[in-house]
Chains A and B, each alone.
Chain A
Amino acid sequence: MAIFSVYVVNKAGGLIYQLDSYAPRAEAEKTFSYPLDLLLKLHDERVLVAFGQRDGIRVGHAVLAINGIDVNGKFTGDGKEVLEYLGNPANYPVSIRFGRPRLTSNEKLMLASMFHSLFAIGSQLSPEQGSSGIEMLETDTFKLHCFQTLTGIKFVVLADPRQAGIDSLLRKIYEIYSDFALKNPFYSLEMPIR
């Protein structure tokens, strides 16, 4: 039972606030010898596993660290390309940590505006008259709850599928937003909340 993340999206689809509250889980560290038995590929400036699942390493996981040093996108800590580094037999044995890639702030911005459009399409495709957009979206690992205010601000909460009481949480977040963002004379509307 948990709340994973909170997003606040303005009426134009821009992300104005974001909070994450989960510890990264499902990370696996392993030592490999030369021919790496996983197929890695570059995707969105990150090195992802494209083929080969073993020991908790899954397709879609990213290379997070090499020999205990965090990688920085597609580059190792000291500025070499990850794929080039792992292609060189002289660097083996090597210990690599894999895990679900964490979202960058750019990706969060993109996902927020993506949800904004999905919300609108959801109401357009409604088979019933007068439908709102997506209010709750269910997957096997999380539930996304969305509350849109009359002024068009969307509050989005990602929570555990069994977590109850999200509706009151969304109202409470709206209240906090009204009290501490909107009533702040230094806050300009539609802009990120700092």
Chain B
Amino acid sequence: MTVHNLYLFDRNGVCLHYSEWHRKKQAGIPKEEEYKLMYGMLFSIRSFVSKMSPLDMKDGFLAFQTSRYKLHYYETPTGIKVVMNTDLGVGSIRDVLHHIYSALYVELVVKNPLCPLGQTVQSELFRSRLDSYVRSLPFFSARAG
């Protein structure tokens, strides 16, 4: 089991943070383009899912998987989106994504007056705490470095 990468978007589609651990393939487009493509895909999936659903939804879209990876999605009522790509062996990690939002993003970015909201997070503290939190996850393994 492993964690590939993590995206953090605000409600306007700005990529607040991106980090990667075991990513073997790049999308082949500039990073900025990739964030936009990812946000656009999630935005479309959200509207797709809300139209397709036979019943009223509460949380909405949670995750999707392909033959090689699984994308986990968590959205707060304020529109912050936490997206983590892992391999297929990982189950539901809603609580992990919620922790990244509530204990890391809110505590270290929202409550930090020196971090302007709505732009890429520059805080080194946030970056390193997030990195060590993800590295400490039970499904994060250092295989293939």
Contact = CB atoms under 8 A, between A and B. Distances in A.
Contacts, number: 118
> By DSSP majority rule, is chain B's interface helix, strand, loop, or mixed?
mixed
Interface of B: 4-5, 20, 22-25, 27, 34, 37-38, 40-41, 44-45, 48-69, 71, 85, 87
Interface in A98-128: 100, 103, 107, 111, 114-115, 117-118, 121-128
Given A26-B56, A111-B48, A134 B25 contact: no
A135 B48 contact: no
A144 interface: yes
A139 B61 contact: yes
A10 B69 CA distance: 25
17 contacts: A100-B54, A114-B44, A117-B44, A118-B41, A118-B48, A121-B37, A126-B69, A127-B5, A127-B20, A127-B25, A128-B24, A129-B68, A132-B67, A137-B45, A139-B59, A140-B58, A141-B57
B24 A127 contact: yes
Given A127-B4, A127-B24, 7 more contacts: A114-B44, A122-B64, A126-B66, A127-B25, A129-B24, A137-B64, A139-B62
Interface of A: 4-5, 22, 25-26, 58, 60, 100, 103, 107, 111, 114-115, 117-118, 121-142, 144, 158
A148 to B, nearest CB: 10
Contact of A137 (B20, B34, B59, B61): B61
